[in-house]
Amino acid sequence: MKLLIILILALIGGQSLFAQEIEELSFEELNKRIRSDNETEVLVVNFWATWCKPCVKELPYFDSLQAHYPTKKVKVVLVSLDIEAEAAKKYRERKNIQSEVVYLDEVDHNAWIDRISSDWSGAIPATLFVDNSGQEQFHEGELSDEALFSQVNQILNLK
């Protein structure tokens, strides 16, 4: 019996060693997640790709956000625009990214870019901040860690 339990535990433990698949979302699905979340105080949605140098440079700042605000409801979603989901999956494993990573499974970018922000040219990185009242702020281009934290602080302090 004891052996069986150990075996089961080993199996369960072993499972987590296997890489988890990355969720692949349509824009509609992603949009629903971004825009119907009124629990989260600050939702930070970062659009990135493994091939985009400024994106991967700023990624650790985003990944440290949630841990930085343990008492606040801050949530980070890293939306990969890689050509294949596999690239994002491997990158997440290699860099041990803790934040939620999703893959946007869309080929017609023109159909959805404006729905994130009409100010967005389409270049990445780009980040959308949404607070729990649905207020949104959009930033195109790289963010320094100072700029990112001050933006989140600001949204939190506004309440």
Partner 1 sequence: MKTLVLTILFALSLSLGSFTPSSDGYEVGDYATNFDLKNVDGNMVSLSDYEDAEGFIVVFTCNECPYAKLYQDRVSELNEKYESKGFPVIAINPNDPERSPADRYENMQARAEEKDYTFPYLVDETQEITRAYGATNTPHVYILDKEGKDKFRVAYIGAIDNNYKDAEKADKHYVQEVVDALLNGQEVPLTKTKAIGCTIKWSNA
Q: Is 121 one of the binding residues for partner 1 (CB under 8 A)? A: yes
Of 69 and 120, nearer to partner 1 (C-beta) is 120
- Of the candidate residues 72, 140, 145, 156, the single one contacting partner 1 (CB under 8 A): 140
Of 20 and 144, nearer to partner 1 (C-beta) is 144
Q: How far is the CB of 79 from partner 1 (least distance, A)?
A: 11
User: What's the N-to-C CA distance of the chain in angstroms?
Assistant: 55
Which single residue is written with the structure tokens 């433990």?
13
Q: Is 43 one of the binding residues for partner 1 (CB under 8 A)? A: no
Q: How far is CA 4 from CA 9, 12, 158, in A?
A: 8, 12, 54
Q: Is 113 one of the binding residues for partner 1 (CB under 8 A)? A: yes
Most distant pair of Cα atoms in the chain: their distance: 62
- Of the candidate residues 23, 33, 40, 54, the single one contacting partner 1 (CB under 8 A): 54
Q: Is 28 one of the binding residues for partner 1 (CB under 8 A)? A: no
Spacing of C-alpha 6 from chain mean position = 36
Of 87 and 97, nearer to partner 1 (C-beta) is 87
| Burial of 124: CB neighbours in 10 Å, binned 0-12, 13-18, 19+ | buried
Q: Is 83 one of the binding residues for partner 1 (CB under 8 A)? A: yes
Tell me the HSE value of 18 on the side-chain side, using a 13 A CA sphere: 7
102 DSSP assignment: E
Q: Is 148 one of the binding residues for partner 1 (CB under 8 A)? A: no
Q: What are the strands of the beta sheet with 136-140, ordered from one edge?
A: 23-25, 100-104, 74-80, 42-48, 126-131, 136-140
Q: Is 133 one of the binding residues for partner 1 (CB under 8 A)? A: no
Which residue ranges make up the site for partner 1 (CB under 8 A)? 49, 51-52, 54, 81, 83, 107-111, 113-114, 119-125, 137-141, 147, 150-151, 154
